[in-house]
Structure formats: structure tokens, C-alpha cells
């Protein structure tokens, strides 16, 4: 399981699509092990809209409320709003440099992983962005 999947499992309720889907695993070298979906064999243009099923809107999860409640329960002063290390600690996940480098590989970080400060800032923004993309209601100031 990927670190991003672990994050989703800790934030989203069990029945939420983000918690049930497996995030693509990163292969050695940072490449994703994802194959593109098979394309249907020559469908007429007019049939394509009819073949697509309407998607059910994903129920939004209030990430701020969930994480604030976790922080209150933990009794720790963790700054999950700006620190990827504190966010991982709050979720009970490995926050070591090696784990963060693994998360950076999963998210295709192209910067220098030895510059942990820059990498950490980027990771936090990317994680908040991914959580928002998958149905998390993230405060606007954390998505930027």
C-alpha cells in the first residue's frame, strides 16, 4: 500500500471512494505502475455519450474538522496545517525522512530530496491537493 493510500485511509471514512480505492504504486525510479484503460473498439461518435453512465457525486469530507478532532484527541500540539511531518504524525503514520522521500516518489517530486525543507513544503501542498481531488473539503488556504 502506498503512503498516499495510508493517508486517505486515515482521513476518509471506510465507505468513502477515496478510502476504498488503491492509489497507484510507484515503481523504482519514480515511474507509476499504471496502464491506461483499454479503449473501446471503434464506437460511433453518437453512441459515446449514451454509453457513459452518470457519475454519482462524491460526498465531501470535512478534512479540517477530522484533523482538528484527531489533534484534540492526541493531546499533542501538531501543526498539521503547514507541516507534512506533523500531518503524518497526527495520522499515526511514519514521518521519517525515508517515508517522506517515498511519498515524494509516489507524487513524482522532481526536486532535490536532500533539500528536505523544500520537499516538505511541496509534499504538504500536494497531499492537501490530492485529498481535495478525492472528496476532501480542504480549507482554501491549504490548497494553494
Any domain includes 90: yes
pLDDT digit string, tens, across residues 23-55? 444 434 444 333 334 444 444 444 444 555 555
Any domain includes 87: yes
Any domain includes 54: no
The pTM score is 0.72
If one counts the domains in the chain, the total is 1
Any domain includes 43: no
Residue 124: predicted pLDDT: 97
Any domain includes 56: no
Residue 44: predicted pLDDT: 44
Residue 23: predicted pLDDT: 44
Residue 48: predicted pLDDT: 47
Please spell the DSSP secondary structure of 9-32, one letter per residue.
HHHS-TTSHHHHSPPPPBPGGG-B
Any domain includes 114: yes
Residues of the chain with pLDDT under 50: 22-49
Residue 112: predicted pLDDT: 96
d(CA 73, CA 84): 19
By residue range, what is the domain housing residue 120? 1-24+61-137
Please spell the DSSP secondary structure of the chain, one letter per residue.
--HHHHHHHHHS-TTSHHHHSPPPPBPGGG-B--PPPPPPSS--TTHHHHHSPPPPPPPPEEHHHHHHHHHHHHT----TTT-HHHHHHHTT---SHHHHHHHHHHTT--S-TT-HHHHHHHHHHHHHHHHHHTTEE--HHHH-
Any domain includes 46: no
Amino acid at each position: 500500500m502506498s503512503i498516499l493510500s495510508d493517508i486517505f485511509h486515515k482521513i476518509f471514512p471506510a465507505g468513502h471512494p477515496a478510502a476504498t480505492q488503491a492509489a497507484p504504486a510507484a515503481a523504482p525510479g519514480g515511474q507509476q505502475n499504471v496502464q491506461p484503460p483499454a479503449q473501446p473498439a471503434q464506437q460511433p461518435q453518437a453512441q459515446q455519450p449514451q454509453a457513459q453512465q452518470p457519475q454519482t457525486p462524491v460526498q465531501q469530507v470535512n478534512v479540517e474538522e477530522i484533523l482538528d478532532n484527531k489533534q484534540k484527541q492526541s493531546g499533542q500540539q501538531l501543526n498539521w496545517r503547514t507541516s507534512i511531518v506533523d500531518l503524518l504524525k497526527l495520522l499515526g503514520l511514519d514521518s521519517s525522512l525515508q517515508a517522506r522521500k517515498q511519498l515524494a516518489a509516489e507524487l513524482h517530486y522532481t526536486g532535490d530530496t536532500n533539500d528536505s525543507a523544500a520537499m516538505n513544503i511541496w509534499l504538504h501542498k500536494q497531499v492537501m491537493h490530492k485529498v481535495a481531488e478525492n472528496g476532501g473539503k480542504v480549507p482554501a488556504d491549504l490548497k494553494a
